[in-house]
Amino acid sequence: MNHTLKYIRTLIIMITLSLFGCVEDFLERYPLDAMTDATYFTSPNDLKVMANGFYRLLPRYHFQGRGNGAQNNNLDANTDIQVGTGPSGFLFQRGASGQAPPTDGTWNGNFTWIRQINYMINNARRVEVSTEANQYVGEAYFFRAWVYLNMLERYGDVPIYTEVLDTDSEALYRERSSRYDVAKFIIQDLDSAIVNMGWKNSTFVTPGRVTKEAALVMKARTALFEGSWERYHGTKNTPFAVQGQDGTEFLQMVEPTIQQLIDHQGSNVYREGGPFNEAYNQLFSQQDASSSAGVFLYRIYDVNEIVGHNFYDLVVDNAQAVTWKLVNSYLDKDGMPQELSPLPIDYTSLNNLGEHLDPRFRQSIWTPDRGPHQQIPGYGTTPTPLPLRYPQLNNVFSANYTSTGLRRWKGAIMDNNEWRNGSTDEVLIRYAEGLLALAEAKAILGTITQGDLDKTVNVLRERVGMAPMSLAEITTWPISYALENAFDPSESTIVNEIRRERLVELAFEGHRQNDLKRWAVFHHVVNDWKPKGAHFQEYVNYYNDPSKLAADGVNPDNTSIWTLTRGEDYDIFNDGHINPFFRNPDFQENGEGYFIEPGRAYLAPIPRNEIEVYADAGYQLTQNPGWF
């Protein structure tokens, strides 16, 4: 049976069971449309109950991690700023076939959700209009936009459905709508969500529910994504270009959208810093995000309500490590590129980098001046407290190690009991993304002013004590922007610096891969790249100094701490940086590095089974470029 049809049939049964308890009784009493007339969609609470089910679409353990030491802080995996202990198959495709897989759970799963959401939207008119009812209808539009944006990012063109189809509906074989039309449809749904929903913490926007602010950011995200995709793939004439479109229409939507948000939110961003006075870091570690300024969508965890998680020990040595590419991206604390900085930057010292670079460096990446891991507030009682102030390059103390020597610090949980309680809320959409979207869209359009920077980029910089961005100053910088660093030599300085700002502010939040793809630089960044870690000598100086180990409470006679042999347990590049993939010849000094197919890697394939089902019924479902 067609997988899509199977999901739809299953969904009909699920809706019946969830709404009415017994499928047999339901079939005996009413057909589907009569049943909704008689027993459901009669009050706002009916809408709320159904909308509650859509919240399963929100990711769990999104930014933080999972227990048992298996952290999920890999949202930027398969990009240039995070790597594991071995090459990613997603980025290492030299010689790989372009044959599409037969099935794809994302394709089928998303259309299952779309049908369920359409069911609610099409029946919501039965409920009398009220502020409360509008909130839940707005949520339904938001979640349909959420699903379709996921599909736009993954597949590009997809069929658009607004009706509730049955298993014998001819419309099941609808052609793929153009990505331009899909993006316009998403914007339309988000406009409906914005009109219907309330602001955060208003009467019916109880903690954890979708907010008007979140919908505004999502609209800007969609417009920026499609606008920049059309612009850059069009100017570079890639196989993924949108004929007849240059992105201007979507890019021009961003400013009025985010201005509406700014008119409401102003410069109000989270500023509480915790034990280390690091507000940027601690934004992601709050037990109650309802009071976190600038957090617009979050998943609630509360062990007292039996919806806790098992996050703990977020700052650990684990398979997803930070690369030197991210370190190189930070400006100095005075707002100058590292290559132009007059400050005494020492690349062999993480502490020195923490002192002289953008404060977000030290609030994102572990620096050893924080002391041994087990002495950090909140980490002395974790299941595997570590006595070392440097990340492990082997697995002496726990099952994992940090392959690049660069451990993530952003989002450190400072509560001694939190790993037991599991009540830290999960940040999903925040103000910073919207502000940066406005800055980038106007920079691309060539209309950005210093006033625009002051109400966007500089609001974010001010709360961490970073020097403000000056439009007049950055245009004088004598620097080159390289494609392999995700910049664009053909673009203006301000466009490239907004790209840098976006990377620094949103690091580890899962935006990087989509950014690389919409800028049409994904293959430039990935191909021939060999990831690098920290300077190795700093680790040697620590682990081979008995006095330093003893000062941190480690018995210097414990030779198992440092028994690594070069070529067997570790290796370095000629410039002294750690080579996390040294065992693989392709990633050694003269290796070929990563490779993705430029004509294929920007979109996922359409499942072969779906194409065959269409063909069997006499219809055509087209495949994405480079796939067969």
User: Contact 561/545 with Cβ under 8 angstroms?
Assistant: no
Residue 211's pLDDT is: 98
In angstroms, the CA 261 to CA 482 distance is 34
SS (H, E, C) 374-439: HHCCCCCCCCCCCCCCCCCCCCCCCCCCCCCCCCECCCCCCCCCHHHHCCCCEEEEEHHHHHHHHH
Most confident of 107-111, 390-394, 444-448, 555-559: 444-448
Q: Pick the range with the lowest mean pLDDT from 27-41, 252-266, 337-351, 469-483.
A: 27-41
Predicted structure pTM score: 0.92
Q: Model confidence over 75-133: pLDDT tens digits?
A: 898 999 999 889 999 999 999 999 999 999 899 999 999 999 999 999 999 999 999 99
Residue 335's pLDDT is: 98
In total, the chain counts a number of residues equal to: 628
Residue 26's pLDDT is: 22
Among 312, 300, 311, which residue's Cα sits nearest to residue 425?
Answer: 300
CATH of domain 1-58+104-197: 1.25.40.890
Residue 18's pLDDT is: 39
Residue 614's pLDDT is: 96
Q: Model confidence over 335-378: pLDDT tens digits?
A: 999 999 999 999 999 999 999 999 999 999 999 999 888 888 87
pLDDT at 328 over 60: yes
Residue 311's pLDDT is: 56
pLDDT at 165 over 80: yes
pLDDT at 54 over 80: yes
pLDDT at 599 over 50: yes
Q: Assign 11 a pLDDT band (cuts: 50, 70, 90).
A: very low
Residue 398's pLDDT is: 64
Read off the pLDDT of each residue in 317-321 and give the average, rounded to a whole number.
Answer: 77
Among 158, 184, 161, which residue's Cα sits nearest to residue 606?
Answer: 158
Q: What is the residue-averaged pLDDT of the chain?
A: 88
Q: Pick the range with the lowest mean pLDDT from 84-93, 272-281, 295-304.
A: 295-304
Residue 274's pLDDT is: 84
User: Contact 572/565 with Cβ under 8 angstroms?
Assistant: no
Read off the pLDDT of each residue in 61-71 and give the average, rounded to a whole number.
Answer: 43
Among 419, 444, 453, which residue's Cα sits nearest to residue 235?
Answer: 444
**Identical fold at 1-58+104-197 and 203-266+429-526?**
yes
Residue 307's pLDDT is: 60
End-to-end Cα, the chain, rounded Å:
22
For the segment(s) 203-266+429-526, the CATH number from 3.90.700.10, 1.10.357.10, 1.25.40.900, 1.10.1060.10 is 1.25.40.900
Taking CB atoms within 8 Å and a gap of at least 24, the contacts of 28-36 are 36/123, 36/126
Residue 213's pLDDT is: 98
> So where are the chain's domains?
1-58+104-197, 203-266+429-526
Read off the pLDDT of each residue in 172-181 and give the average, rounded to a whole number.
Answer: 97
Q: Model confidence over 197-214: pLDDT tens digits?
A: 999 999 999 999 999 999
pLDDT at 585 over 80: yes
Report the share of the chain in percent with pLDDT over 90.
71
Cβ neighbors of 520 (< 8 A, separation 6 or more) are: 229, 232, 233, 236, 238, 240, 602
Residue 619's pLDDT is: 96
Report the share of the chain in percent with pLDDT over 70.
86
Read off the pLDDT of each residue in 50-66 and give the average, rounded to a whole number.
Answer: 77
Q: Model confidence over 531-554: pLDDT tens digits?
A: 999 999 998 888 888 888 888 887
Q: Model confidence over 388-425: pLDDT tens digits?
A: 888 888 766 666 788 999 999 998 888 777 766 777 88
